[in-house]
């Protein structure tokens, strides 16, 4: 049983395309993270959000608490955006993280 489901699992896009990655979860949460993992392994946090929308450069993250759904959008995608994007939620008590299996994005020049 996966508490966090991401779609799609794999995504290939042409440079410049608008990209959307989706995350659905089944548990009550206190916050949701979007993480980025580049080839070579390191993981960085892109966003932490508990409501509404956040924007950082070309990246936008939204969350709908009622629908238990979040999206990560990348505008004007670039080959350097190629990475695995991971959705993680923090359970309502704040002590338990649940991770999606990730979306592998490849942006072709």
Distance CA 87, CA 32 (A): 7
Nearest to 108 by CA among 15, 10, 46: 15
CB of 40 to other proteins, least distance (A): 8
Among 48, 60, 62, 91, binds other proteins (CB under 8 A): 48
Q: Is 64 an interacting residue with respect to other proteins (CB under 8 A)?
A: no
Max CA separation in the chain (angstroms) = 43
The residue range among 16-24, 29-37, 55-63, 64-72 that interacts with other proteins, by the rule CB under 8 A, is 29-37
The residue range among 12-20, 58-66, 67-75, 90-98 that interacts with other proteins, by the rule CB under 8 A, is 90-98
The residue range among 16-24, 30-38, 53-61, 72-80 that interacts with other proteins, by the rule CB under 8 A, is 30-38
Among 1, 14, 39, 41, binds other proteins (CB under 8 A): 41
Q: Is the Cβ–Cβ distance between 98 and 88 less than 8 Å?
A: yes
**Look-up: residue for tokens 């995350």?**
23
Distances (CA, A) of 16 to 9, 11, 50, 58, 73: 20, 14, 29, 11, 13
Q: Is 86 an interacting residue with respect to other proteins (CB under 8 A)?
A: yes
């Amino acid at each position: 049983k996966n508490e966090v489901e991401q779609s799609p699992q794999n995504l290939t896009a042409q440079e410049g395309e608008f990209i959307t990655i989706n995350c659905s979860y089944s548990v009550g949460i206190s916050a949701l993270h979007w993480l980025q993992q580049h080839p070579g392994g390191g993981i960085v946090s892109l966003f932490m959000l508990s409501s509404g929308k956040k924007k950082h450069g070309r990246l936008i993250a939204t969350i709908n608490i009622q629908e238990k759904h979040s999206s990560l959008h990348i505008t004007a995608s670039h080959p350097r955006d190629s990475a695995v994007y991971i959705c993680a939620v923090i359970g309502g008590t704040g002590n338990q993280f649940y991770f999606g299996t990730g979306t592998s994005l490849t942006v072709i020049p």
